[in-house]
Amino acid sequence: MNEQHEDHAVSIRAEQAVLGSLLLDNDALDRIGDLQADHFYRHDHRLIFEEIQRQVAAGRRVDPMTLYEAMSRKVDDCLPYLGKLRASAGSSANILRHAEIVSDKAAKRSLAALSVEMRELAASHQSAALCVDLMASKLEALAQKKTSNVPMQMSETLASYMSVLEARADGTIMPISTGHADLDAQLDGGLERGTLTVVAGRPAMGKTAFGLGIARNISQWGSALFLSMEMSQVQVNDRNVSAMGKIPLTWLRKPGSDAGPNGQDHAYWAALTHVVHKSLEMKLAIDDQTGLNMMEIRTKARQVKRKTGLDVVVVDQLSFITGGKSDKEYAVVGEYTRALVALAKELDVAVILLCQLNRECDKRPNKRPMMADLAMSGSIEQDAANVMFLYRDEVYNPDSPDRGICEVNSAKQRQGQPGVIALNYIGSQTRFEDLAYPWHPRRAEEKPARRGFGSN
């Protein structure tokens, strides 16, 4: 092949410039970003780059002669070519730019290979849905481009940190309020941008109502996206209208059912009209596509961000996400949580992930959830900035003195102290509201509890 071949997917000159710069200045290896050996188009260039990495990692200085000793049998005309590479590099000053060109060309070659694979897959007997899912996961992997930061001394970082403190002091940078005063106080002001919050609970504890309620609250001053993989858009709107208009969910399922002489039918229709007008002032995007993979979640979030801005993404729920590459459940959960953290940072939003707890807490006398109840809790604990457990004692004990109370246990707070607060849960309207009186956690009764499940 012609050494100077250049096109949209290959730059031999850039590859030679990188290798020549490394031979001239071994320390430049620290300035090449995420460049890897398989980013090089020419096989001999890959071998040379790998050997430079090995020798530098071993603490040896690298030059054409030391490389020749290790590679004389692997690369034709090895010593003359290595000498030519070094001589052609006048300086290593632009090595990062040259490395970016090599990496970019490699990404384009990967895209071209994917297009061929896509055509072959389209001609196969696989279903269209499976083909799309496979391609989406591969595109997602290709899109995960790493960026390398240069480590900095603390003294160097404090200048920008002072700017952050000033912005916090004057209100330019603020946590995202959940709309619940006690919860915001527990979270030191609210949800932090760029972080993942996991909200977990057993069925009927109110996970969906809780996540949807926070999305509604935020959409009144900001913008929210609610990804409902479990419920249809109609069901989500049932809950929104019920909560916003304080209309019983049972009436919405059968409008006109309370139209008697003393009924509330007229009042409910008036409340519904108010909700419709109120919705025009809100930025709450709802998507009810089920079985989303991480590429699709990212795409939908970016679309909303471009159109209306975005402050929070609520994903309902973990068990409905698809597209994991591993055959081990704990590894798949880790893929999802890491991808959601990356999404939060990329779009500068807060991400809330709803997930269901396993049955272990049902077997204990005290059924309040613990970290160990999280399915594959290791990766969730590691990646989430906040982990909250919802618990309503009346689900297990219908005669509980805490009827109507939902305990929100902030069991993990990366930037604060864990604690428990309480919200009032109005089940008929599937909504949460702040308590009007002080509340303190009760001591759990250590006796078997009666069980029953209501609406979630």
Write the DSSP string, 55-101. Answer: HHHTT----HHHHHHHHTTTSTTHHHHHHHHHHH-S-STTHHHHHHH
Kind of pairing, strands 196-201 and 386-391?
Answer: parallel
Q: What is the CA radius of gyration of the chain?
A: 28
Contact 367, 361 (CB under 8 A): yes
Contact 314, 227 (CB under 8 A): yes
Spatial distance between the Cα atoms of 290 and 276, rounded to a whole number of angstroms: 26
Residue 147 has pLDDT above 60, yes or no: no
CATH number at residue 39: 1.10.860.10
The pLDDT value recorded for residue 146 is 57
Q: Does some domain include residue 451?
A: no
Neighbouring residues of 201: CB distance < 8 A, sequence distance ≥ 6: 207, 356, 357, 369, 389, 390, 391
Q: How many helices (H) and strands (E) does the chain have?
A: 16, 11
**Same-domain status, 86 and 119:** no
Neighbouring residues of 66: CB distance < 8 A, sequence distance ≥ 6: 55, 60
- Determine whether 297 is exposed, middle or buried from the number of CB atoms within 10 Å of its CB (0-12, 13-18, 19+): buried
Domain tally for the chain? 3
**Structure confidence by residue, pLDDT tens digits, 60-82:** 899 999 998 888 888 888 889 99
Cβ atoms within 10 Å, residue 34: 12
CATH number at residue 290: 3.40.50.300
Q: Does some domain include residue 315?
A: yes
Consecutive H or E run containing 40: none
Q: Which strands sit side by side in the sheet containing 386-391, from one edge to the other?
A: 284-287, 224-228, 312-316, 350-356, 196-201, 386-391, 405-413, 419-426, 431-434
The pLDDT value recorded for residue 49 is 93
**Same-domain status, 222 and 319:** yes
**Same-domain status, 263 and 233:** yes
**Same-domain status, 210 and 277:** yes
**Same-domain status, 302 and 232:** yes
The pLDDT value recorded for residue 194 is 94
| Nearest residue to 453 (alpha-carbon basis) of 434, 418, 427, 429 | 427
Q: Does some domain include residue 148?
A: no
Q: Does some domain include residue 441?
A: no
Q: Does some domain include residue 167?
A: no
Consecutive H or E run containing 7: strand 6-7
Contact 353, 392 (CB under 8 A): no
Q: Does some domain include residue 282?
A: yes
**Structure confidence by residue, pLDDT tens digits, 230-286:** 999 999 999 999 999 999 999 998 887 766 556 688 889 999 999 999 999 999 999
**Same-domain status, 100 and 123:** no
Tell me the residue range of the domain where 291 lies: 172-434
**Same-domain status, 336 and 228:** yes
- Residue 34 CA, chain-centre distance (Å), reads 22
Angle among Cα 297, 382, 389 to the nearest 5 degrees reads 80
**Structure confidence by residue, pLDDT tens digits, 185-238:** 999 999 999 999 999 999 999 999 999 999 999 999 999 999 999 999 999 999
Q: Does some domain include residue 164?
A: no
Consecutive H or E run containing 285: strand 284-287
**Residue 1: pLDDT band by 50, 70, 90 thresholds?**
very low
- Determine whether 269 is exposed, middle or buried from the number of CB atoms within 10 Å of its CB (0-12, 13-18, 19+): middle
**Residue 454: pLDDT band by 50, 70, 90 thresholds?**
very low
Name all contacts of 87-94 with Cβ < 8 Å and 24+ positions apart: 87/20, 88/16, 88/17, 88/20, 89/17, 89/20, 89/21, 89/23, 89/24, 91/21, 91/24, 92/21, 92/22, 92/24, 92/25, 92/28, 92/31, 94/17, 94/21
Residue 17 has pLDDT above 90, yes or no: yes
**Same-domain status, 242 and 128:** no
Consecutive H or E run containing 422: strand 419-426
**Structure confidence by residue, pLDDT tens digits, 364-373:** 888 999 888 8
**Same-domain status, 124 and 196:** no
Contact 453, 401 (CB under 8 A): no
**Same-domain status, 327 and 215:** yes
The pLDDT value recorded for residue 343 is 92
**Same-domain status, 189 and 73:** no
Average pLDDT over the chain, rounded to an integer? 87
Q: Does some domain include residue 158?
A: no
**Same-domain status, 87 and 195:** no
Residue 351 has pLDDT above 50, yes or no: yes
